[in-house]
A and B are shown apart, each in its own frame.
Chain A
Amino acid sequence: MDPAQSAVTLTVREALHTLSSSEDGGRLLSTLGALKRYLSGAENSALPGEQEEFARMHFSAVLRCLVGRLSPGWLELLPDGQLEDLWASFFLEGPADQAFLVLMESIEGAAGPSFRLMKMAQLLARFLSAGRMAAVMEGQSRQLTEPAFRLLQETLLTKVVGLPDHLGNRLQRENLEAFLPQNYFPLLGEEIMRVLQAVVDSLRGGWDCSVSFLSQVLGKACVHGRQKEILGVLVPRLTALTQGSCLWRRVCWRLVECVPDRAMEALLTGLVEAASGPDVLSRLLGNLVLKSKKAQFVMTRKILFLQYRYSTPMLQSLLGYLAMDSQRRLLLRQVLKELLETWGSPSAVRHTPLPQQRYVSSALLICLAHLQDTELRDSRDELLASLMAGVKTRLDSSLPAVRRLGMIVAGVASTRIHPDGPPLRFQYEEDELSRELLALAAPPPVADSPSEAEASPAVETPDRGSMDGGVPQAQSEGLGSDLDSDDELVPYDMSGDQELKSGKAPAYVRDCVEALTSSEDWERWEATLRALEGLIVRSPAAAREVSVELAKVLLHLEEKTSVVGFEGLRQRALVAVVVTDPALVAEYLTSQFYALNFSLRQRMDILDVLTLAAQQLSRPGRLPKAPQCGSPSPTSQPSSTQAPAWRAVVQERIRSKTRRFSQRSPRWGPDAGPNEFNLVAGYFFFPLIRHFDRPLVTFDLLGEDQLVLGRLVHTLGALMYLAVNTTVAVAMGKALLEFVWTLRFHGDAYVRRGLLSAVSSVLLSVPAERLLADLPDELLEARPWLADVAEQDPDEDCRVLAVKALLLLEKLRDTLVPLSSP
């Protein structure tokens, strides 16, 4: 044995003995002073060999012994806290990793709140604030890995990252500020930066260094969900440092590469979130996606296809990162293909929630903006094929939002993929979403080849704006304006000044039939259409004579000239016909719904008209209002429009003078009146529900005409709801629940929404006792189905509707329980 070593061993052994047993302050002081000689950097220090041996073999033991002696009495053996200072200096100046481990160990080992625990915690806080954590990590980066070393590193890693958890557990409410995660992780980030600086310096000096421990710390912190805190410190610094220095860049790449696979996802998402743009991301990551399979998976699949919580700027920096390097561009093309496939896949359209579809669409448009024409040309056919398939799937969808998304994306993508070919053009109204998506499709500012396709619409818009403004025209008209300076006379909007066409309208309902069917005089035809609703309402008896005939004419009416508001006029007239003669016309319309030669549009019109008419019939207080739209009758005129004003005034006065003893808000319910829908609800409802499963040649509700099926279900639900308080409600409810049961697993979200709202309207319309008496099995069956939908349906509206229906069921039970208990 080396004599020097044995000398150290002997000294230490003796010192430990003294420390553990002696109560004499002076003796302790001298012993500790002797030990301190072995710490590097102390005055009149020992030989380097001795120091090294002490550090490797005895330091932990000494520290443990010191911890063991810690008590209030012991510290007061010497005045002025000399002993405490000396004691602490061992932890703060000795080898950092061992000191850290002993500190953590003793804190964890403490039984409960005690003097020693608090002292140790305070010491740890001092340890952190003195920047010793950097020393811990730096120590690890200097030592090159050897097998036995692994275990220590592993322990160290757990303790470093888990420090806030451990201390939080141990100290409970007495936890110190420094150990809270929101304070600790930024500090850790600072320390990592310092270590990295040291690494860079030593690399410049020509020494080897490893950043793998740092990577592990970083990765683990990210896995713990602390990306924001730690990367919030690291990324801005690294962004600045990597700007100028190649070495820094390499260190940074290496740092990210060495992160273990299981932490890669957490780190990358954090980085993409924290990085301010594609170029920053590119500087930080390098070609990581090409080197690491895991990183590639995260960047090109997981973030894009499996998750959708990230913001658009994140997507932009991610895809921009892929576009920044020629090798990575291959990946970008791959991504585009996959995005297009997903975008158009029927199963994805059906089963993914709308926000995700929007997310994929934005990613798709960003991708397209980044790729150049030449790159797109290579795989044009393939891309076009999947785009067209996608457009078809999307336009077939019965959800307007899905169709809309399809139209917006298809319009942009087709011009981009195939700039020479005929572009797809759709009519949709601009809104925030479309503007946002179109803005994404514009090429990024750094793009090298601005494509004409995107540039031209932007140029066109101001042109169009000035054209319809009509400024020059108005100015040229004011010829004599030099005399008067009447600039303050600003004209009002005169767009409502149109030609009057009332002169040609027939005065009798019967004439309208003739005018609509055989008239070649289009002005008369239009005037008839405009006047029809008023005529029907004014003379119900005359309308009743020709009701079915009129309904037939209106149902088959086509818009031969471009009449403003044609659809609305026709619909209102039809509704008026149904309301005047509900039984006959409803019977006719419902029979036509399943007839052979109708377009889907007409069938849906039938449904709309039936719903609106049912609504008018069931609404109480409809009758007194109706004559008002007729000819002005002198007696009713003066009061009709002034009434609300004085009524409001009177009510306000009553309210101010009245003291109420209960807090219930006064109810101004609608005036009571007979529900006219009662007598005719059956005519509306049962013919519609009867034939839905019998496909015709031209009309297959259960097949591809699911849009109409969705409308049908909604209509049935609405009719059910409007049939509240009617005698047929129970029979209707039974039929409707059976109908719902057969369709409950329908693939189309729109149909399912209808079914769920139909269930709700059954629960609302059928009296509670009758529900329980007549439909117990149906309700019992519906409950688990609703619960299932509420949890698992991909469509958000479906889930909400299911929850609502469940709530209604609950309420139903609550109303029944007190009924049965007494």
Chain B
Amino acid sequence: MAASLLPPPDPQFVLRGTQSAVHALHFFGGAQGQGRPLLLSGSLSGLVHIWSLQTRRAVATLDGHGGQCVTWLQTLPQGHRLLSQGRDLKLRLWDLAEGRNAIVDSVPLESMGFCRSSVLAGGQERWMLAMPGRGNDEVQILEMPSKTSVCTLKPEADAKPGMPMCLELWQADSSPRPLLLAGYEDGSVALWDVSERKVCSRVACHTEPVMGFDFDSQKARGVSGSAEKALAVWSLDEQQALQVRGTHELTNPGIADVKIRPDRKILATAGWDHRVRVFHWWTMKPLAVLSFHSATVHCVAFATDGLLAAGSGDQRISIWSLYPIRSDASTPSLGHAEGREVGTQTLA
């Protein structure tokens, strides 16, 4: 067995030229018939670069955050819209259709934290946005594009979970009720029922703040990383109760981001130790340690075709192609915010 080990992989290619640390990555397009996807990257200097993976060059640069760090990027299914969140306390909505890059709308943020927002968008005109709210531990839900505040999710007075660190809005296939998963500063993950404004369940996964998580709604299982030396895997049962399934020890502490690949075979973590780790999603067996970067890796992202991108403090974005997705895969890649959005993209 020892002899048959593959040598550690190398990146397929590397994108340079952001000229500052990369803090957000997002693949855009790339579903069947559309050629290779575009990659969006948000940098510390407030710029959003749009990279063509064909030419491996930046095709456009968006400057809308006044030189403040871009922390989150998300595209919407309707009409090539991009949402970007910056540390200038603004959420910008961009129109990218037909080569445009204009700010269409802007939402003010009221939290100075590092929490990334989340959207829930079906095929309809209206969509839902979750973002950190005014109060220290609040999460605000807006209905877009009207920007009407739907509600503010505030934990009970005695809970004291600290600031929300990461959010994910989702909707179970069986019911129309939107749900929100939130990772908090005290290391716990909570499931909110948005329409009832109450916590369904809350479980302490880490002793340090949750830095990033991803949730597989089909298997009702999620994985979260924090500042500590372990990954936590938790699951949601039929009674909407969260429970920790296990933890997985790492060599070095600190996980900045966790992403599960759309086909739910593997997951990748962005490590403070400059490395990207790849695990088998179901068994949590470690598969690879990608060491290329020379500074903290801030974010990872998967494309629908299985490409993995990692952005790091060393100003480079590495693109990896591991365990290619077989085209005849029978499992549909739906049921998950990212996947659903891509599914509708093909229709648009």
A interface residues with partner B (beta carbon < 8 Å): 468-471, 474, 477-481, 483-484, 486, 488-494, 496-500, 632, 634, 637-638
Question: Which residues does chain A contribute within 8 Å of B315, judged by CB atoms?
Answer: 632, 634, 637
Contact B5 A493 (CB under 8 A): yes
* Beta-carbon contact of A471 and B273 below 8 Å: no
Q: Is the CB of B283 within 8 A of A632?
A: no
CB neighbours (8 Å) of A634 from chain B are 19, 315
Q: Are B265 and A486 in contact (CB under 8 A)?
A: yes
Contacting residues, chain B, for A468 (C-beta < 8 A): 2
User: Would you mind naming 28 contact pairs between A and B with Cβ atoms under 8 Å apart?
Assistant: A469-B1, A469-B2, A470-B2, A471-B1, A474-B1, A474-B285, A477-B285, A478-B280, A478-B283, A479-B283, A481-B282, A486-B280, A486-B282, A486-B283, A489-B265, A489-B266, A489-B280, A491-B5, A492-B8, A493-B5, A493-B6, A497-B289, A497-B291, A498-B251, A500-B274, A632-B294, A634-B19, A637-B16
Residues of chain A within 8 A of B273, CB atoms compared: 499-500
Cα–Cα distance between A21 and B315 once the two chains are bound (Å): 117
Q: Is the CB of A494 within 8 A of B288?
A: yes
Q: Is B7 an interface residue (CB 8 A)?
A: yes
Chain B contacts with A in 136-165, Cβ cutoff 8 A: none
Residues of B within 8 A of A (CB): 1-2, 5-9, 16-17, 19, 251-252, 265-266, 273-275, 280, 282-283, 285-289, 291, 294, 314-315, 323
Contacts of A637 in B (CB 8 A): 16, 315
Once the chains are docked, how many angstroms separate the CA of A632 from the CA of B313? 11
New A-B pairs, 15, CB < 8 Å, besides A491-B285, A493-B7: A479-B283, A488-B323, A489-B287, A491-B288, A492-B9, A494-B286, A494-B288, A496-B291, A497-B275, A497-B289, A498-B251, A632-B294, A632-B315, A634-B19, A638-B16
Which B residues lie within 8 Å of A497 (CB)? 251, 275, 289, 291
A489 lies within 8 A of B294 (CB): no
Q: CB-nearest residue of chain B relative to A478?
A: B283
Tell me the complex Cα distance, A477–B285, Å. 7
CB-CB under 8 A from A478, the residues of chain B are 280, 283, 285
Contact between A491 and B282 (Cβ–Cβ < 8 Å)? Answer: no
Chain B residues, CB < 8 A from A469: 1-2
CA distance A490 to B280 in the complex (A): 10
* Chain B residue, CB-CB nearest to A493: B5
A483 x B282 contact (CB < 8 A): yes
Say whether B288 contacts A492, CB under 8 Å: yes
| A492–B287 CB distance below 8 A | yes
The minimal Cβ–Cβ distance linking A578 to chain B, given in whole angstroms, is 27
Nearest neighbor of B266 in chain A, beta-carbon distance: A489
| Distance (whole angstroms) from the CB of B293 to the closest CB of chain A | 10
Q: How far is the CB of A538 from chain B (nearest CB, A)?
A: 14
Known: A484-B283, A500-B252, A637-B315. A492 touches B5 (CB 8 A): yes
Which A residue's beta carbon lies closest to that of B314?
A632
* Chain A min CB distance to B72 (Å): 24
Cβ-closest 10 pairs across A and B: A492-B288, A497-B289, A493-B5, A478-B283, A500-B273, A484-B282, A491-B287, A492-B6, A638-B16, A494-B289
The answer to whether B6 and A490 have CB atoms under 8 Å apart is: yes
* Chain B residue nearest in CB terms to A490: B6
Bound Cα distance from A469 to B9, whole angstroms: 21
Instruction: State A623–B343 Cα separation when bound (angstroms).
Output: 54
C-alpha spacing A489/B263, complex, angstroms: 13
State in angstroms the CA–CA spacing of A632 and B6 once bound together.
Answer: 30
> Which residue among B7, B273, B289, B314 has the maximum number of chain A CB atoms within 10 Å of its CB?
B289
Expressed in whole angstroms, the minimum distance between the Cβ of A474 and any Cβ of chain B is: 8
In the complex, which residues of chain B have a beta carbon less than 8 angstroms from the beta carbon of A498?
251
Q: Is the CB of A496 within 8 A of B8?
A: yes
Report Cα–Cα, A499/B5, bound state, in Å: 21
Residue of A nearest to B20 (CB): A634
Task: Determine the residue in chain A with the shortest Cβ distance to B5.
Answer: A493
Chain B residue nearest to A491 (CB atoms) is B287
B22: shortest Cβ distance to chain A, in Å?
13
Chain B residue nearest to A484 (CB atoms) is B282
* A484 proximity list for chain B (CB < 8 A): 282-283
B287 to nearest A CB, angstroms?
A: 5
- Identity of the chain A residue whose Cβ is nearest the Cβ of B288 in the assembled complex: A492
Please report the C-alpha to C-alpha distance between residue A701 and residue B210 in the assembled complex, in whole angstroms.
65
CA distance A500 to B250 in the complex (A): 12
Instruction: Say how far A497's CB is from chain B's closest CB, in angstroms.
Output: 4
Evaluate whether A470 and B1 lie within 8 angstroms (CB atoms) in the complex, with A489-B280, A489-B323 already known. Answer: yes
Find out whether the CB atom of B283 lies under 8 angstroms from the CB atom of A481.
Answer: yes
**Cβ contacts under 8 Å, A492 to chain B:** 5-9, 287-289
B residues less than 8 Å from A486 (CB atoms): 265, 280, 282-283
Q: Which residues from chain A contact B283 at a C-beta distance below 8 Å?
A: 477-481, 484, 486
Please give, as numbers and ranges, the residues of chain A lying within 8 Å of B323 by CB-CB distance: 488-489
What is the bound-complex CA distance between A663 and B279, given in angstroms? Answer: 57
Closest chain B CB from A173 CB (angstroms): 62
Distance from B185 Cβ to chain A, minimum over Cβ atoms (Å): 23
A483 CA to B284 CA, complexed, in Å: 13
| Interfacial chain B residues near A477, Cβ < 8 Å | 283, 285
The minimal Cβ–Cβ distance linking A42 to chain B, given in whole angstroms, is 81
Please give, as numbers and ranges, the residues of chain A lying within 8 Å of B266 by CB-CB distance: 489
Query: How far does the Cβ of B273 sit from chain A's closest Cβ, in whole Å?
Result: 5
B8 to chain A, nearest CB (A): 5
Provide the residues of chain B in CB contact with A488, threshold 8 Å.
323
What residues of B have a CB within 8 angstroms of the CB of A470 in the complex? 1-2
A795 to B166, CA, bound (A): 73
A470 vs B282: C-alpha distance when bound (angstroms): 21
- B2, B252, B288: the one contacting A499 at CB < 8 Å is B252
Q: Which residues of A contact B274 (CB under 8 A)?
A: 500
- Name the A residues within 8 Å of B314 (CB-CB): 632
Minimum distance in angstroms from A8 CB to a CB of chain B: 89
Note all chain B residues with C-beta closer than 8 A to A483: 282
Residues from chain A with a CB closer than 8 A to the CB of B285 are 474, 477-478, 489, 491
The residues of A that contact B17 with a CB separation of less than 8 Å are: 638
Closest beta carbon of chain B to A605's beta carbon, Å: 30
Chain A nearest CB: distance from B46 CB in Å? 16
